[in-house]
Amino acid sequence: MGWRSPQVRDTLERKGFVQSNTGDAYFRLFVDGKFTGVKTKVSHGREDIVRGRFLFTQMKRQMHLTSEELERFFNCPMTGEDYIALLRSKGIIK
């Protein structure tokens, strides 16, 4: 199972990420209007993000998630608030 770029972009935006205004598809996480330092890049290509493949591995590293957590993030059991709480519990953001 994989996620396509439009689904990934939509999910990121619903959960607090904002796309940068550069030509690249970078998404930065903001909490209470402040950039947290967490960012990820979404491919412009048509390749699906599939567990165990390069794009999946890059996104989980950039988003500070395990494979299982990334799947929960994009399959939507994890809310934006859950994600922020998880990052706080890991000491990634304050």
Please indicate, yes or no, if residue 36 is contained in any of the structural domains.
Answer: yes
Please indicate, yes or no, if residue 10 is contained in any of the structural domains.
Answer: yes
Tokens linked to 1: 């199972």
* pLDDT tens track for 35-46: 999 999 887 666
Distance CA 38, CA 19 (A): 12
Distance CA 13, CA 9 (A): 6
Total number of domains constituting the chain: 1
> Is residue 19 classed exposed, middle or buried when 0-12, 13-18 and 19+ CB atoms within 10 A define those classes?
middle
Supply the mean pLDDT for the chain.
89
What global pTM score does this model have? 0.87
Please indicate, yes or no, if residue 61 is contained in any of the structural domains.
Answer: yes
Please indicate, yes or no, if residue 94 is contained in any of the structural domains.
Answer: no
- The range of the structural domain enclosing residue 43 comes to 2-89
